[in-house]
Structure formats: C-alpha cells, structure tokens
Amino acid sequence: MNSMTGYAWRERADDAVSVSVEIKGYNNRFLEVSVNAPPWLPGLETRARALVSGSCGRGRVEVSIRVRETNAPVNVTVNTTAARAYMKAISDLSANLGLADNISVSTLIGMEGVLEAEKDRDAGRYWNAIEPVLREAVSAFAAERAREGRHTEGDILASVARIESALQTVANHVPTLEASIRENVGARFRELTGGSIDENRVMAETAVLLMKYTVSEEISRLSSHLGEFRAEAARNDRPGKKLDFLCQEINREINTIGSKSTMTEVSRAVVDMKEALENAREQLRNIE
C-alpha cells in the first residue's frame, strides 16, 4: 500500500553540468504527471514523464528538472546581413549630416544582432546526465510513498478492527433482540386477550417483526465486506479504488443496522462503526 503524497530531491554535478531533480506528489483521483524542464531540451519532458509514470499508479506528480551549465561549448557566428544594414544606415546618416564615416569594427560588432552566440547543446548528452539523477529521485520518491503508505495502512486497519469489534457487539445482542421481540409480542397478545392467546398468531406476528428488526443478514454481509477489505489490502499494492468501493458497501450495511436498531447498545456500536469507517475513508484518500 503506497501513499500518493511524497517528496524527493536529488542533485549531481561534474565539470560540465549540474543537474537537480525535485519530485512532489499530491492526492488525485487519476495519475497526472507534469514535468518542468529546460525549454532548450526538446523531448526531455516525454522521456521524464514515461520514467516517472512507471512507478506511480495514482496521484498528481510534479517533476522539476534544473540544469546549470559550466563549460558548455559556444558557437559564435556573424550576421553579415545585419552588419551591412548597420553600415548602410550609418553611411547614409554621415552623408546627410556631412560627417566623416569612420565606424570601427569593434563598434559594429557591439550592435544588436551582429554577433550571434549559441550554445552547442546535444539533447542526448544532457539526457545521459539527467537520467541517473532522475532515476535516483524516482527511487527516493517511491520509498517515501511506501513509508507513508505503511503508516497509513496501519491506521486504516486499526479502524477496520474497530468496526469488527463493534460488529461483534451487535452480533452478541442479536439473540437478546430476538428474544425481546418474542416476549413483547406474547405480552401484548396476553394483554389484549386477557390471557388466552393463539400461539400460531403469536408466531406469525413474531416472524414479521423479526424480519423487520433482525440484523443477522446485515451482520453476515458486513463481515464478508470487512474480510474482503483486509484481503484486498494484503494482496494489492494499489488497492485504493477497490477499498473505496468496499467502504461504500460497508457504510450501506452499517446504516441498515442503525435503521433497524431498537437497543441502546446496538445504537452505540453503530455510532462507533460509523466513526471508524469515516476515519478509514479519510485515510484512503491518500492511498494509490
């Protein structure tokens, strides 16, 4: 069981380039990976997104890649078209004003656009520097999410244990509830008839009330859902969606038991189950 939240940061530098990778994870219904990388490295985002997506099932993951160059080779070219345009404009100005045309090369190359400098950037070479740092960050991110997931799993299963304990309390009171229904029906008939009662009528009325108020079927279904919840948490590394569905089914059975409750002890147990289930559902929002 892994958490969707987590954080990792890794950095590595050599004589030519320094690379740092930061990864942040947040809760999200689906998997959404965003990569912020240097715009002068086309194609890097796609590679990085594929690498990160392979280790995540759900969540919003933000990846920030920073690259600082130390001794990157630079290509310098002269834009002769721009230089000629500057020279012509200066010559025309000199002629119109009657001034000497004595512009120097050093002045000319200082004008915008005459010299063009471009760093020689090989995307493959930079990816070779970035990939190992990114893999280290992804590994650290996965470890952090697994650590948080183990802690969250413990809290969720503790809530499930609370529900199971409260459910056992309900089950323990079922015989008392059924006996109380039988006794109340018999007492009401004796009161109405003055002591003479029709046993068949009493049994029929008791059966109707038992169908209305007994919770044996709900207890059985709820026990089954809780067992499946534990099994899914144990066998699936990314059980979030299935467990969320099971919580809906568990909630339905708890509500039905509560609506049928005629005993104070059962009502208290229902409140405890609802509180524990809400705690579990809150924690499940962090799980893949």
Are the C-beta atoms of 92 and 141 separated by less than 8 Å?
no
pLDDT digits (tens, 9 = 90+) for 259-287: 877 778 888 999 999 999 999 999 999 99
In a domain, 1, yes or no: no
Encoding tokens for residue 212?
């209305």
Residues 158 and 230 in one domain: yes
Tell me, yes or no, whether 221 lies in a domain: yes
Q: Which pTM value belongs to this model? A: 0.69
Residue 151's pLDDT is 93
- pLDDT for 213: 60
Amino acid identity, residue 140?
A: A
Q: Which residue has the higher pLDDT, 174 or 184?
A: 174
Q: Count the domains in the chain.
A: 3
Asked if residue 188 has pLDDT above 70, the reply is no
- Sheet containing strand 6-13, edge to edge, reads 6-13, 17-26, 59-69, 31-36
Whether residues 228 and 112 fall in one domain: no
Among the ranges given (179-183, 209-213, 244-248), the one the predictor scored with the smallest mean pLDDT: 209-213
Range of the domain at 96: 74-119
CA distances from 70 to 12, 16, 74 (A): 13, 5, 11
Looking at 7-122, list the stretches that DSSP marks H as alpha helix, in order from N- to C-terminal side. 44-53, 80-97, 105-109
CA distances from 233 to 2, 59, 160, 177 (A): 11, 18, 11, 34
Same-domain check for residues 177 and 94? no
Residues 35 and 94 in one domain: no
